[in-house]
Amino acid sequence: MAEARERLAGARDALSSGHAGIAASAGYYAMLYAARAALSERDLYSKTHSGAWSLFSEQFVKEGGFDPSLASEAAKAQEIRELGDYAAKPPSADQAGEIVETAAHFIAEVERVLGE
């Protein structure tokens, strides 16, 4: 979870400095790291993003009471990040802001589910 919080802080800094692409990417990774931290609490690991999200959905969204709308928002953030990183279509400042806000809620929800 420490890595997730650090990425969130970096995302906020990037957003406030006008770096939407960096903010969106860091916000997405904050959510991924939080999801991986939650999985590690159950001794579950994945080498790929898609594997981590699939396991997270099975373990925490379907069975564990995690807010499904936040999981959907994380998937949207992944798409936006990939467009920026791989298709040279950077996110708007508004999109990046939404991802950073979602990341903060996502991390808080993981903490709630884990009882932190």
Q: The domain that contains 49 carries what CATH number?
A: 1.20.120.330
Q: Is the dihedral of CA 10, 64, 77, 16 positive or negative?
A: negative
Residue 114 is predicted with a pLDDT of: 87
Q: Which of 27, 20, 52, 25 is nearest to 39 (CA)?
A: 52
CA gap 1, 10 in Å, rounded: 14
Contact in structure between 90 and 19 (CB atoms under 8 Å): no
Q: Check whether 64 has a pLDDT greater than 80.
A: no
Domain count for the chain, please give it: 1
Residue 52 is predicted with a pLDDT of: 96
Share of the chain above pLDDT 90, in %: 91
Query: Domain limits at 56?
Result: 2-114
CA gap 103, 32 in Å, rounded: 9
Total-model pTM: 0.94
